Chain A
């Protein structure tokens, strides 16, 4: 690859690294070089292999083939501790803190400064943490437990952790996803200082303008393959998107126009104290409405309250003119609501159960009589949906756990579509799904809407929101901050509402 002719040697590199999980090839012959004093962006869609790459650098995964090169020498990290000792700090997308321990302990776990006889120097731990917080410009009490910290503050603790051992390589996986504008600016100034001090930065973000603002070089991955590594100077956002996606956006987001019918779902002033407030919106038949926002904005919580899994404190949910009783998923299902949850492994599927049984779960009383389930009907229903959703499977009696992520998602969809719902709520329908299957899921959602289904789609994937939705609802910190029609929805307008910037501008 195009190593600069002159200049410093890379601190950390990957050379022809491959990594598979079962049948899924997460990385294939990927190479990457990180140089001191340079911020390197890692671009690629969800599922392109970015997280696997990071975890390989962090010592969490060991490559199946290829090598990790540190200061020009091949190394093997036996665990995260090895990578940390080599000066590599990783800030994961989801902060990983110990809720019961103090902030100071969180930062220094496993490498606390010690006094004589190996005893932890508690004062040093505390004072160093206080100094780090000062350097980061935040007021967090080092002795306070991590429980109850906001996502932004948790992120700060993670950054303080990286600062505390003078990391030579700082890897950040979407650190700004849950931050407001000012918090992002604060983070960037810290990162720039580190960079000026000679640290190598690897930065992942879905916000292209951040990549251009912070980084000098970009490596693109697609479907686990290395696509390019090049200087950012001279590239445009369009160039970057093209190398990430590698195909026409239209192909990935096959949005059919549908006839918009009457109101199917109406949510009025729904409130759950401390989680979200005063949420009102409508979804009509034939419409795909996206619910966008940052991680932690309360979108999934709204969906759960609408479906009745969580009880709302105030407000009402009306489906096809009928008001639902609060806190009853059964009533919601009877009224024609279906919820495809975000975490399909935990909430969407029974992983050890067969494909046919999983699909049958939502309609057991319709598949038999007197509490007995008839296997023939069960299998028939599963086979029918497997064909309609183009499920790739071996036998219907196989456990769901052996399917790929995309096909598991199809099973969850089948399970809910089999209830013949009037309103389908899908939470992150394509998270962790390969690009090909993603397009299939999109095509499916689009054709369902065309058949008159009302679809509410929660998604953190901005291109997906823009590509699929007729209308975009945006949430910020538990409140609905914008409703944007398809024609006016852009990355900028959605992100502005999601980070609360539009409000601040208005205020």
Chain B
């Protein structure tokens, strides 16, 4: 992916302006991930044509959906220069709670989803309040929440398992059903992704999240309600995680206490690989979603190619380091390029 990015094209309509440079760099990030993804899919397909038959594509999309959702939620937090490590535990708790709630009943799909979301919001608000009002570093708060929620979940479950037989059919239908051959789950993920992207780009409060991540002190002086925005970002991330937990139940039917255990790190990796700077202020949810898609596809491809699954971790790690290295280099180069432009502009005037 690095090779694809080092020459941002400047041949857009605003030729030569700084804007096209910056746009090109960010578009280049998304394009390069999409390109890497295409290469990966193509290569795997050549090695094993069954990878891309109907069922294969469906599996790819289904596997990616929940991670994409979580990456969207995580991006909103990371953009503000914070992090939410509790999402994996929230998914686990929400999936188990929803399962417990519907087991042997005929509760509707909507009720289950709302329950999952509500649980997630509560978790997110606790983390968010500690980070924004308590001024405790996000890493510590959400790490603590990770263990607390996990512990709560284990204590509640006591080794119990909810099996697909207990879950009402309409709920399972959401996980397995499809419209026009496309499963519901990826459609839901895409809808949330598009709505979040639209919000982050087009609304004041969305832009303020970027402002906070870019320069918190300047945001304070510009009158941005920082604490409220950060609280909101965590509530959103929690809500998405809770929702993802409910969808987990719908998809798999069988849930135990430690579903999605360890997913928080995969989500953060996806977000960073997707170009959302861990230091806040830049990146898009589209990029994060592509990052999530890339990571899950790598996992699926390795299975198809019969490569030992432990390689998946190593590859994810390598991608992560590559992404951060590229970010750093691009940021340094861009700063230098913009400075030179200013200098030229200054001399010319």
Chain A interface (Cβ < 8 Å from any Cβ of B)? 58, 60, 79-82, 84, 90, 92, 96-102, 105, 109-112, 114, 118-120, 122, 138-139, 141, 143-145, 147-150, 153, 274
Contacts and interface: CB of A to CB of B under 8 A. Distances in A.
Given A110-B224, A139-B349, A147-B338, A118 B22 contact: no
Given A109-B211, A148-B342, A274-B336, A100 B281 contact: yes
Given A98-B219, A105-B211, A141-B17, 7 more contacts: A58-B221, A99-B214, A114-B204, A120-B207, A139-B345, A144-B338, A147-B338
Overall SS of chain A's interface: loop
A81 B349 CA distance: 35
A284 to B, nearest CB: 36
B2 interface: no
B335 to A, nearest CB: 5
Contacts of B222: 80, 96, 109-110
A110 B281 contact: no
Nearest to B206: A120
A144 B211 contact: no
B19 A80 contact: no
B341 to A, nearest CB: 8
Majority SS of interface residues in chain B?
A: helix
A147 B335 contact: yes
A379 B133 CA distance: 40
A145 to B, nearest CB: 6
Interface of B: 14, 17-19, 22, 202-204, 207-208, 210-211, 213-215, 217-225, 281-282, 334-339, 341-343, 345-346, 349
B224 A109 contact: yes
B338 A145 contact: yes
Given A98-B211, A141-B17, A141-B19, A110 B221 contact: no
B221 A101 contact: no
A155 to B, nearest CB: 13
A90 B221 CA distance: 9
Contact of B203 (A101, A119, A148): A119
Contacts of B211: 98, 101, 105, 109-110
Contacts of B202: 119-120, 122
Nearest to B215: A98
Contacts of B207: 101, 105, 109, 112, 120
B221 A60 contact: yes
Given A99-B214, A100-B210, A143-B19, A148 B335 contact: yes
A141 B18 contact: yes
Contact of A110 (B19, B208, B282, B337): B208
What are the 6 tightest A-B residue pairs by CB atom distance, in nearest-first order?
Answer: A81-B223, A148-B338, A96-B218, A100-B281, A143-B19, A98-B214
A109 B219 CA distance: 8
Contacts of A90: 221
Nearest to B342: A150
Contacts of A139: 345, 349
A162 to B, nearest CB: 12
24 contacts: A58-B221, A60-B220, A60-B221, A80-B223, A81-B225, A96-B218, A96-B221, A97-B215, A98-B215, A98-B281, A99-B281, A100-B213, A101-B211, A105-B207, A110-B224, A120-B202, A120-B207, A141-B17, A143-B19, A147-B335, A148-B335, A148-B336, A148-B337, A150-B346
Contacts of B210: 98, 100-101
Contacts of B334: 147-148
A149 B213 CA distance: 19
Contacts of A99: 214-215, 281
A416 B304 CA distance: 64
Contacts of B17: 141, 143-144
Contacts of B18: 141, 143-145
Contacts of B282: 100
A96 B203 contact: no
Contacts of B219: 98, 109
Contact of B204 (A60, A92, A118, A141): A118
Contacts of A274: 336, 339
Contacts of A100: 210, 213-214, 281-282
A432 to B, nearest CB: 17
Contact of B218 (A79, A84, A97): A97
Given A112-B204, A118-B204, A80 B215 contact: no
Nearest to B217: A96
A101 B339 CA distance: 15
A276 B294 CA distance: 44
A153 B345 CA distance: 11
A144 B221 contact: no
Contacts of A58: 221
A96 B215 contact: yes
A110 B221 CA distance: 11
B340 to A, nearest CB: 8
Contacts of B337: 148
Contacts of A120: 202-204, 207
A60 B54 CA distance: 60
B48 to A, nearest CB: 42
